Amino acid sequence: MTLSMSFLMFFSILAFVPLCFSHNANGGYYLYPQFYEHSCPGAQEIVKSVVAKAVAKDARMAASLLRLHFHDCFVKGCDASVLLDSSGTIISEKRSNPNRDSLRGFEVIDEIKSAIEKECPHTVSCADIAAIAARDSTVLAGGPSWEVPLGRRDSRGASLSGSNNNIPAPNNTFQTILTKFKLQGLNIVDLVALSGSHTIGNARCTSFRQRLYNQSGNGQPDYSLDQSYATQLRTRCPRSGGDQNLFVLDFVTPTKFDNFYYKNILASKGLLSSDQVLLTKSEASMELVKKYAMNNELFLEQFAKSMVKMGNISPLTGSRGEIRNRCRTINKY
């Protein structure tokens, strides 16, 4: 073999060393879809079947599981911190403003985890279960599919303040929302595409009441909301009371994962202020809203890419964190 041939061979072998063995910029390992291929080959099937059963019983559960992964990833990374109950020194993120009386799906994650523990004890993290469940939920609602990079481990703590501060609120300004995304390494394209999650699921009256009665403190409604739609919303979202009343986020196709979210925004019928500001407060995001409203395929494709990006936020890998026995509690030594 000539020297140049052996060089060629060496470099072509290097090219095939899987990314999974290399370190990422933060000194952790890269996530990769085949992480459980040998250690728990049935894991993905188990998640899929439990999620399918839960969504068949309650269509909204698809939306709730998708949101659960988002609220996990924005607080200390995608490490299942959101799943921990309060106990000992842990103050649960479930009590935070964005999560209280709102975040759902914990029982479904528990059911998946106990089925997986039976098949492959102490192997699959709760953070990975949440990421796969978010993908399966999207698919069940008619959205795109993607391969979920895996290998996350679970945190040994939670952050109530992280949950309150990092997750955007529906009345945040466009700039605040974009800044909160940028702090997680996500950009304006990710913001507009991931907000498209609001094509499914519900919001409570308390999350948008301000728009109906007193948007900026002068007793006037939000005029960027279609006024006949606003009148309709007021019937079940009064000035006071009815805080927990539920409204669909996409009134045209409330359980179908499609681009009606963006079409509604163009018609001034985005339910949350954080939805409507994507059109009204930034030229760049307005262009993206129009693009996704016009082209469903483009939206679905970008959504899948942005979900993978969100799922990569600061995972615990290697020997960091742990594989919890139960998603609600850290392991005891």
Q: Footprint of ligand HEM on this chain (CB under 6 A)? A: 60, 63-64, 66-67, 70, 102, 104, 168-170, 177, 191, 194-195, 197-198, 200-204, 207, 272, 274
**Would residue 71 show up in a list of annotated catalytic residues for this protein?**
yes
Residue 123 near residue 39, CB atoms below 8 Å: yes
Shortest Å, Cβ 185 to ligand HEM: 13
Give whichever of 171 and 329 is closer to ligand HEM, judged by the CB atom: 171
Q: What is the Cα–Cα distance from 262 to 260, expressed in whole angstroms?
A: 5
In this complex, which beta carbon is closest to ligand HEM, that of residue 59 or of residue 91?
59
Ligand-binding site membership of 77 (annotated):
yes
Q: Is 168 annotated as a binding residue?
A: yes
Smaller CB separation from ligand HEM, 44 or 166? 166
38 annotated to a ligand binding site: no
Does the annotation flag 101 for ligand binding?
A: no
Q: Which of 23, 38, 69, 71 is catalytic?
A: 71
**Residue with the shortest CB distance to ligand HEM:** 201
Cβ proximity to ligand HEM, 120 vs 169, nearer residue: 169
The whole-angstrom separation of Cα 217 and Cα 211 is 10
| Shortest distance in whole angstroms from residue 330 CB to ligand HEM | 26
Long-range contact list for 297-304, CB < 8 A, 24+ apart?
Answer: 299/193, 299/196, 299/259, 299/262, 300/143, 300/144, 300/257, 300/259, 301/144, 302/189, 302/193, 303/138, 303/143, 303/144, 303/193, 303/194, 303/196, 303/197, 304/144, 304/145, 304/146
Is 275 flagged in the annotation as binding? no
CB of 247 to ligand HEM, least distance (A): 8
What does the DSSP 8-state code read for residue 80? S
b/e map of 114-137 (b: 16 or more CB within 10 Å)? eebbeeeeeebbbbbbbbbbbbbb
Could you tell me which residues are beta bridge partners of residue 316?
153
Is 72 among the annotated ligand-binding positions? yes
Distance, C-alpha 146 to centroid of its chain: 14
Name the minimum Å distance from CB 195 to ligand HEM: 5
- C-beta closer to ligand HEM: residue 102 or 155: 102
Burial 173-182 (b: 16+ CB within 10 A, else e): ebeebbebbe
Long-range contacts of 224-229 (CB under 8 A, 24+ apart): 224/268, 224/276, 224/277, 224/279, 224/280, 225/268, 225/269, 225/270, 225/276, 226/267, 226/268, 226/269, 229/268, 229/269
Task: Find the shortest distance in angstroms from Cβ 333 to ligand HEM.
Answer: 35
Q: In terms of CB distance, is 120 or 188 closer to ligand HEM?
A: 188
User: CA 101 to CA 64: how far, in whole Å?
Assistant: 12
Minimum CB separation from ligand HEM for residue 183, in Å?
A: 13
Q: Write out the binding residues for heme b.
A: 198
Q: Write out the binding residues.
A: 72, 75, 77, 79, 81, 93, 168, 198-199, 250, 253, 258
Query: Residues with catalytic annotation?
Result: 71
Q: Write out the binding residues for substrate.
A: 168
Q: Write out the binding residues for Ca(2+).
A: 72, 75, 77, 79, 81, 93, 199, 250, 253, 258
